[in-house]
Amino acid sequence: MSNGDKKKRVLVAGGAGFIGSHLCDALLRQGHEVVCLDSFLTGSHQNVDPLENHPDFTLVEADISQTLPPMGRFDEIYNLASAASPPRYQADPVHTMMTGVVGTNNLLELAARCGARFLQASTSEVYGDPQVHPQPEDYLGNVNCTGPRACYDEAKRAGETLCFDYLRRGSVDARVVRIFNTYGPRMQADDGRIVSNLITQALKGEPLTIYGTGEQTRSFCYVDDLVRGLLALMNVGETPRSPVNLGNPGEFTINELARLVRERVPAAGPTVHMPLPQDDPQKRRPDITRAKELLGWEPVVPLVEGLEPTIAYFALELGVEAMPKMPTPDEVRKSV
Ligand code: NAD
Ligand code: UDP
């Protein structure tokens, strides 16, 4: 047990997903007991298979928007359960909304019954297509509540509302993190997000798909940095009574990201431009002042470093024999 902490019983909803499975790993490494609850909507057994025989790990297959199965008491509950990729959350928008609202409420009720501390994975999407840049937590956002992204954005906004209402009435010690674009090993190769799309396309020698001009920006956080931030927010003594942004402030256009991938995977096909999806945010970068002050947290893995293990992971997944070309330090310096 690290830091002399007591062993905790922790629920990770969405624990078989990309971020959730890394969080399960980290909690088990710290010596806690972990129950992973997942419906496998977008997660995979492969992400948690290595944990199956761990004596402190239990897998429960259930949907958080339905009545929860009996699981016993918890000290902490992390709610990461939600499809996160635009094509996946738009595939069944009503279910996405129910997951974010009814599912979050079900988990908050469970937390209230157990006296568990609660961490809600919200998103930079609550800022919509932002008119303030970079985005601090007190920016109220610019979300189209009737567009195709609304099922996710508005569900996450309502999820935050529920957390702060449970907190205000004193029934749950709830904490809300607004996660900015996060990437790394165990993203689903086919879930449609930019990092996984570009890398898998490049490794297969296919064209790189760029929506719109590619001049829209995102800020990419490596998963290890993010998980460290989630743990810090759950463990901070005084409950922050406001959301906390977690993300890497390094901002890149999609064209720049494609160039970085192409430099590392020279087999990539040509760039093809496709229509920009409706309501696609034009820019995004976190203001992480609050996370630095409250948690002493900031990311340490720059994009050029985090791309290496991510590309290596997808190469293995796709069975691509030739490992990607590793850039020389000189090439890395020129590309930043
Ligand atoms: P992911 O799709 O890999 O993981 C989500 C997990 O939740 C999957 O295992 C899925 O099967 C499960 N799930 C979905 N709906 C469920 C339901 N109704 N009941 C039970 N399980 C359900 O996505 P991720 O990137 O790991 O995202 C994890 C969380 O972080 C999500 O809540 C997402 O909204 C949030 N987030 C992620 C990012 C990012 O860039 N990765 C950015 C902002 C917010
Ligand atoms: N995007 C792209 N090509 C792709 C997938 C995504 O150009 O194959 C763009 C998308 O339009 C958006 C950005 O990349 O501007 C990030 O998309 P992603 O789906 O990863 O995340 P989000 O839009 O939720 O930030």
Q: What pLDDT, on the 0 to 100 scale, is given for residue 4?
A: 46
Q: How many domains does the chain have?
A: 1
* Model confidence pLDDT, tens digit, residues 3-50: 446 999 999 999 999 999 999 999 999 999 999 999 999 999 999 999
Model's pTM, two decimal places?
A: 0.95
- Determine the atom of ligand 2 nearest the C-alpha atom of 257: 14
Q: What is the pLDDT of residue 102?
A: 98
In a domain, 273, yes or no: no
Tell me the C-alpha distance between 264 and 255, whole Å: 15
- Arithmetic mean of pLDDT over the chain: 95
Altogether, the residues listed in the chain come to a count of: 336
- Identify whether 13 is part of a domain: yes
DSSP string, 57-115: EEEEE--TTSPPPP----SEEEE--S--SHHHHHHSHHHHHHIIIIIHHHHHHHHHHHT
Confidence bin at 326 (pLDDT 50/70/90): low
Does residue 203 fall inside a structural domain?
no
Cβ–ligand 2 distance for 211 under 6 Å, the answer yes
Residue 89 sits in a domain whose CATH number is: 3.40.50.720
pLDDT digits (tens, 9 = 90+) for 156-184: 999 999 999 999 999 999 999 999 999 99
**pLDDT, tens digit, 9 for 90 and up, residues 84-93:** 999 999 999 9
pLDDT of res. 331: 54
Residue 174 forms part of a structural domain: yes
The token duo for 218 is 């995102």
pLDDT tens readout for residues 119-142: 999 999 999 999 999 999 999 999
Helix (H) or strand (E) holding 224: helix 223-235
Quick check: CB of 179 below 6 Å from ligand 1? yes
Burial (CB < 10 A; 0-12, 13-18, 19+), residue 293, is exposed
Distance CA 242, CA 246 (A): 13
pLDDT of residue 287: 98
What is the structure's pLDDT at 3?
Answer: 46
Strand bridging mode 182-183 / 173-179: unpaired
Q: Give residue-wise pLDDT tens across range 230-260.
A: 999 999 999 999 999 999 999 999 999 999 9
At residue 1, does pLDDT exceed 80? Answer: no
Q: Is residue 84 part of a domain?
A: yes
Ligand 1 midpoint to CA 267 (Å): 31
> With the C-alpha atoms ordered 299, 246, 36, 199, is the resulting torsion angle positive or negative?
negative
**Is the CB of 121 within 6 Å of ligand 1?**
yes
CA nearest 188: which of 268, 111, 98, 85? 85
Count CB neighbours of 307 within 10 A: 26
| Ligand 1 mutation pick, 12, 19, 96, max ligand atoms within 8 A of CB | 19
Q: Residue 258 CB: number of other CB atoms within 10 A?
A: 22
Q: Is the residue at 172 inside a domain?
A: yes
DSSP percent split of the chain into helix, strand, coil, nearest 5: 40, 20, 40
Ligand 1 and 23: CB distance under 6 A: no
Please, which residues have CB within 8 angstroms of residue 227's CB and are 6 or more apart in sequence?
A: 19, 22, 23, 26
**With a 6 A CB cut-off, is 243 part of the ligand 1 pocket?**
no
25: its two tokens: 């790993």
Pair 288, 224: CB distance under 8 Å: no
Residue 64, ligand 1, Cβ within 6 A: yes
Average pLDDT over residues 185-191: 96
- Whether residue 208 lies inside any domain: the answer is no
- Give the percent of the chain with pLDDT over 90: 93
- Contact of 287 with 245, CB cutoff 8 Å: yes
Nearest-atom number in ligand 2 for the CA of 284 is: 25
In this predicted structure, the answer to whether residue 274 has a pLDDT above a threshold of 60 is yes
> What's the token pair of residue 332?
């890395």
- Specify whether the CB–CB gap between 45 and 16 falls below 8 A: yes
Residue nearest to atom 13 of ligand 2 (CA): 194
Mutate to test the pocket of ligand 2, among 199, 218, 220 (most ligand atoms within 8 A of CB): 218
**Residue 305: φ, ψ to 5°:** -85, -45
State the residue range of the domain holding 73. 9-182+221-248+284-300
d(C-alpha 13, C-alpha 66), whole Å: 13
* pLDDT of 297 above 90: yes
49 ligand 2 Cβ < 6 A:
no
Nearest to 125 by CA among 155, 164, 146: 155
pLDDT tens for each residue of 209-225:
999 999 999 999 999 99
pLDDT score at 332:
53
Q: Which residue is closest in CA terms to ligand 2's atom 25?
A: 181
Q: Is residue 165 part of a domain?
A: yes
| Cis ω for the linkage preceding 134 (within 30 of 0) | yes
Q: Is the dihedral of CA 59, 60, 64, 65 positive or negative?
A: positive
Give the residue numbers annotated as catalytic, written as ranges.
152
Query: Does the pLDDT at position 208 exceed 90?
Result: yes
Could you give the CA distance from residue 214 to residue 201 in angstroms, rounded to a whole number? 16
Would you give the distance in Å from CA 251 to the centre of its chain? 17
Going by C-alpha positions, the residue among 63, 59, 23 that lies closest to residue 39 is 63
Cα(1) to ligand 2 centroid in Å equals 40
- Residue 330: per-residue pLDDT: 54
